[in-house]
Chain A
Amino acid sequence: MHLNFLDFEQPIAELQAKIEELRRVGFDNEINISEEIARLEEKSRKLTESVFSNLNAWQISQLSRHPQRLYTLDYVELMLEEFHELHGDRGFADDPAIVGGLAKLDGVPVMVIGHQKGRDTKEKIHRNFGMPRPEGYRKALRLMRLAERFGLPLLCFIDTPGAYPGIGAEERGQSEAIARNLLEMATLRTPIVCTVIGEGGSGGALAIGVGDRLLMLQYGTYSVISPEGCASILWKSADKAMLAAEAMGITSERLYALELIDEIVPEPLGGAHRDRQEAAANLKAALIRNLEELRRQPIESLLENRHQRLMGYGIFEETSTS
């Protein structure tokens, strides 16, 4: 069992292990086995291609939460220049589950806001597994208003299992904090590009996810409730998460077909974490292109388009007679 590989990747992991072993043997014995290694690597690539060309929703859900997946601060480091992190909601606390700050994207000053998960156990706890409390959303709102005032485009990165379900969070108005952001983002007078980079978990994701463009990484997910949560309510068993993931249509492909997202940002073969540079380069290119389009629009028409886009969400039937 290889920890850096998911269940369905085990055949690839075994092949990779074999290649590693051959390399070691070749190094020790000074025998030229590079041909064999090249053959195996080609085989591994083909195998990865075939496994990844046919992923189901549950497998993609696992990829979106992969322990090595790139988080907001990874993309900030790989894509942006001059990042200055800004802290605190000015009312109660600084929530480490949401990060934000000033930076430059391809030379253009921007405001960045994103969910942040932790890599090791200690940091995971510090970041509360990427589950924000109300002060996180209020910090985000403060930074949004700052961006509006100084004419900075806003980049939001979504990657959370959901808003934190805790006693203190409820006491301090989790619902209100989320709702307020939805309302404010709808009319914020600056271009907003949101990207689901990992897990888009419900209202906790949406609270920094309203804007002019919604991009999604190829192996990201976005849903109204986690597959486990949906399964435990509708199937009365969290074990049915696989079925729930399929039923809810949480993948970039299905959401694109439903016209709920604007663009799928392709990931390197095997997922973003297999080639961090390429993943970041793909996202950077998409952000630059979208931002350029948005910045060309006069602010009033940008806001009107955003409003119409929000009003367009929903599929229903209407009969002409009352």
Chain B
Amino acid sequence: MSWFHKLVPSKIRTEASSKSAVPEGLWSKCPSCNAILYRSEVERNLEVCPKCNHHMRIGARKRLHFFLDPGNRMEIGETLSPVDPLKFKDSKKYKDRLSQAQKATGEKDALIVVAGLIEGRPVVAAAFNFEFMAGSMGSVVGERFVRAVNHCLAHRAPLVSFSASGGARMQESLLSLFQMAKTSAALARLAKECIPFISVMTDPTMGGVSASLAMLGDINIAEPGALIGFAGPRVIEQTVREKLPEGFQRSEFLLQHGALDMIVDRRDMRSKISALLGLLMSDRAASSAPAPRFALVEEPQPETVGAVSFDPVMANVLQNGD
């Protein structure tokens, strides 16, 4: 170390050495192809890698924001919050896990339901937040889903759900398991009333969510490359003690085996579902249905997404917000 450096106070030295010009979060790496991507470009691309088309996981709010028409949105079931009926404790208390997840996501639980419009047509959209305890289904998720269905029944609006879940929430034990029966029973009513339910399975859709509401779509859609199944691949490998086939439990595998109607790119999802709903709810169905009467309340936009149009302009806003 030179005599000059010894003279300079340490504070100044530190400042001089930290000369990173790149702000945090400007770049990100695709988990699939490892390409270094410009963050704003990824967001403009709806979190799909522009290089390899890998569909990255996306938060529920962001997903619904992309999916619905701007404005005219009303959240359903936001007054519900989870409790700890079993006083469940493993290495951590369920209560603590909940508050940790709530703090990290800013949400009360793993499912968000919003009534809004898709290309002018009333729709109720539900989306799982995988970040919230792996999108697991407990009492609140089940109840919010049922309220989504009830809203659809009351207004003859179609239901679209985006699943991203590890399954039932262990910390609510049998109460969670019974949410499978509860959500399925609600969907039975929807089917009886001939109101369409479109189920979109995203990465990952497993266990109790896959074996209830997610597989019960009038039309089952998946995003490309999503892991979808009942038992987890690790459990299966341990049970059958053989190597799993290539692409096992991925969307393309499910399509090939007849579990899905189609695989749809996230960037085409909105127009595809809008078109499908247009056909399912054609004139005859529409004329017999009363007009939507629910009050549409302007929904406060999440901070990161302030744009009001669904086009590449979004990217600028996203960039500013982030």
Q: What residues make up the interface of A, taking CB atoms closer than 8 Å to B?
A: 163-167, 169-176, 178-180, 182-187, 202-203, 206-207, 209-210, 222-225, 229-230, 233-236, 243-244, 247-250, 255, 258, 260, 307, 310-311, 313-322
Residues of chain A within 8 A (CB-CB) of B232 are: 165
Docked Cα-Cα span, A243 to B276, in Å, equals 49
Residues of chain B within 8 A (CB-CB) of A174 are: 211, 229-231
**A167/B180 in contact, CB under 8 A:** no
Shortest Cβ gap from A178 to chain B (Å): 4
- Contact digits for B160-192, partner A, Cβ 8 Å, 1 yes 0 no: 000000001110111111111110111111011
Q: What residues make up the interface of B, taking CB atoms closer than 8 Å to A?
A: 75, 78-83, 85-86, 88-91, 138-140, 142-143, 146, 168-170, 172-182, 184-189, 191-192, 207-208, 210-216, 228-232, 235-236, 239-240, 242, 244-245, 248-249, 257-259
Docked Cα-Cα span, A277 to B235, in Å, equals 38
Q: How many A-B residue pairs have CB under 8 A?
A: 204
**A260/B178 in contact, CB under 8 A:** yes
Residues of chain B within 8 A (CB-CB) of A182 are: 180-181, 184-185, 211-212
**A314/B139 in contact, CB under 8 A:** yes
Docked Cα-Cα span, A274 to B232, in Å, equals 38
Docked Cα-Cα span, A317 to B191, in Å, equals 29
Shortest Cβ gap from A146 to chain B (Å): 19
Residues of chain B within 8 A (CB-CB) of A187 are: 185, 188, 192
Docked Cα-Cα span, A314 to B216, in Å, equals 21
**A165/B184 in contact, CB under 8 A:** no
Q: List 16 A-B contacts (CB under 8 A).
A: A169-B230, A170-B249, A173-B215, A173-B259, A175-B228, A179-B210, A182-B211, A186-B188, A202-B168, A224-B168, A247-B89, A248-B174, A310-B185, A315-B83, A315-B175, A320-B79
Q: Give B178's nearest chain A residue, CB to CB.
A: A313
Residues of chain B within 8 A (CB-CB) of A180 are: 215-216
Shortest Cβ gap from A239 to chain B (Å): 13
Instruction: Give the residue of B89, B184, B208, B235 whose beta carbon is less than 8 angstroms from that of A224.
Output: B208
**B180/A175 in contact, CB under 8 A:** no
Q: Give A255's nearest chain B residue, CB to CB.
A: B174
**A249/B174 in contact, CB under 8 A:** yes
**B175/A313 in contact, CB under 8 A:** yes
Shortest Cβ gap from A306 to chain B (Å): 8
Q: Give B86's nearest chain A residue, CB to CB.
A: A249
Q: Give B249's nearest chain A residue, CB to CB.
A: A170
